[in-house]
Amino acid sequence: MAPIRRLVLDVLKPHSPSTVEFAREVADAAGVAGVNATLLETDREVQNLRLVVEGEAVDDDEVERRIRDLGGTVHSVDEVVAGETLVAYRDQPQDPSSS
């Protein structure tokens, strides 16, 4: 099976643990080389994060389990890069931002 190189996840999490601790815990998952956690929105009870998870062979099940164990919920999987090469996204003519 082709290894997962990058996952981009839309995650809803409680205020605690902090975004720093949340990213560190996800980064400890098998196959993860690094995590970028971006705060998109915050309200009284929850925060919305974009998590970019990269590695040579990311264990997506473990990543999602760690998110759940930290009280988070994966709202959507916005990008998956799998295979031997880390493929960069390129705007396509039909993309709204490319017009």
pLDDT-derived band at 95 (thresholds 50, 70, 90) equals low
pTM of the model: 0.86
Residue 16 lies in a domain: yes
Neighbouring residues of 37: CB distance < 8 A, sequence distance ≥ 6: 19, 20, 22, 23, 26, 49, 50, 51
Residue 99 lies in a domain: no
Residue 93 lies in a domain: no
d(CA 4, CA 81): 6
Residue 45 lies in a domain: yes
pLDDT-derived band at 91 (thresholds 50, 70, 90) equals confident
pLDDT digits over 56-69, tens only?
Answer: 999 999 999 999 99
Residue 92 lies in a domain: no
For 73, how many CA atoms within 13 A lie in the half-sphere containing its CB? 6
pLDDT digits over 4-59, tens only?
Answer: 999 999 999 999 999 999 999 999 999 999 999 999 999 999 999 999 999 999 99
Are 25 and 57 contacting, i.e. CB atoms less than 8 angstroms apart?
no
Residue 93: is its pLDDT beyond 80? no
The number of distinct structural domains making up the chain is: 1
Residue 64 sits in a domain of what CATH number? 3.30.70.1340
Residue 9 lies in a domain: yes
Residue 68 lies in a domain: yes
The boundaries of the domain holding residue 70 are 4-86
Residue 98 lies in a domain: no
